[in-house]
Amino acid sequence: MNKLLMTVARRLGLGLFTLLVISLVIFLAVDMLPGDIATEILGQMATPEAVAAIRDELGLDQPIHQRYLDWLGGLMVGDLGESLATDRPVSALIDDRLMNTLYLAGLAALISVPLALGLGILAALYRNTIVDRTVSIFSLSAISMPEFFIAYVLILFFSVQLGWVPSLSKVSAEQSFLDRLELMLLPAITLTFVTCAHMMRMTRAAIINLLSSPYIEMARLKGLGPWRIVLKHTLPNAWAPIVNVVVMNLAYLITGVVVVEVVFVYPGLGQLMVDSVAKRDLPVVQAASLIFATTYILFNLIADVVSIVSNPRLLHPK
């Protein structure tokens, strides 16, 4: 247990250092965007004097290292700053949007994880059969297609031609649970297509790798059925790689939703970040990017810990 805690502490420290580096990269990348909020407010015909006055009022004329240290100091005390476009706290703008993104990611996870595990087990049990080939073709097709293409195809068939669900996902807090669920269905299915294939192929590979083990052959000789062998003997020993890829895909469901949210006009954190880039609202862009980076690093840590707990041999290097 002590070695596990030391490993977690070491990974956590590395994650914090990585997050510090990422915060610097985010700040520099956002600062290099062409234009700024002053030109957005005043328009292209604004005089240089008016632009300089707005930049001075918003503190954009300070040296870049001073602005970064001020921003970093605010982050240390939980202050994300204020929006340059609305003069509202960034945390207030992000709060509802982040919850919408988490709801969408949660719905996609509820669909994709059981589906991927089931298809992976099915493909492994019926390896080199029509079932395995069909599942493999589906997974390779899903991996090959970008999110926006899948999204537009789903909109074409289920919204335009069949009219079953709306093409835009403008959810709000006033809507009922069923109404929100209906609006989130197409974005969730799009994310399921993207993430399910990776989890399914890893499940299939991990189970097939263990099915040739001597203890599985012994279980067969005892007369155990294939499903009992997989569920009772194979799957528990295959959890480490499977859980790792599942957790990494859960991280993608939160950090990789930007394109999907833009296509469906879903009011999540990704859509807010894209809108803020168009307005040159730098504090909002920085905060949203940092939240995505923090989420990805945190899920990486969770994946490492779960893999070590599932397979304690990982604590002992070879």
pLDDT at 34: 67
Q: Report the length, in residues, of the chain.
A: 318
The model carries a pTM of 0.78
Give the three-class secondary structure for 198.
helix
Rounded distance, CA 188 to CA 185, Å?
A: 5
Rounded distance, CA 80 to CA 282, Å?
A: 11
- H helical segments located in the chain: 2-31, 37-42, 48-58, 64-76, 90-125, 130-144, 147-154, 177-211, 214-221, 226-228, 239-255, 258-264, 269-279, 282-310
Alpha-carbon distances of 153 from 7, 143, 159, 164, rounded to whole Å? 45, 15, 10, 14
Give the sign of the dihedral formed by CA 185, CA 296, CA 35, CA 96.
positive
Give the sign of the dihedral formed by CA 234, CA 237, CA 239, CA 240.
negative
pLDDT at 61: 66
CB atoms within 10 A of CB 32: 8
Domains and CATH numbers, the chain: 90-315 (1.10.3720.10)
The DSSP code for 127 is: T
Rounded distance, CA 260 to CA 153, Å?
A: 13
The DSSP code for 231 is: I
* Per-position pLDDT tens, the chain of length 318: 577 677 777 778 887 888 888 888 887 877 776 666 666 665 566 666 666 666 666 666 677 777 788 777 877 877 777 777 777 888 888 887 888 888 888 888 888 888 888 888 888 877 888 888 888 888 778 778 888 888 888 888 888 888 888 888 777 777 777 878 888 888 888 888 888 888 888 888 887 777 777 777 777 777 777 777 777 767 777 777 778 788 888 888 877 778 888 888 888 888 888 888 777 777 888 888 888 888 888 888 887 777 777 666 655 555
Rounded distance, CA 270 to CA 285, Å?
A: 10
Rounded distance, CA 197 to CA 116, Å?
A: 7
pLDDT at 58: 62
CB 310 within 8 A of CB 2: no
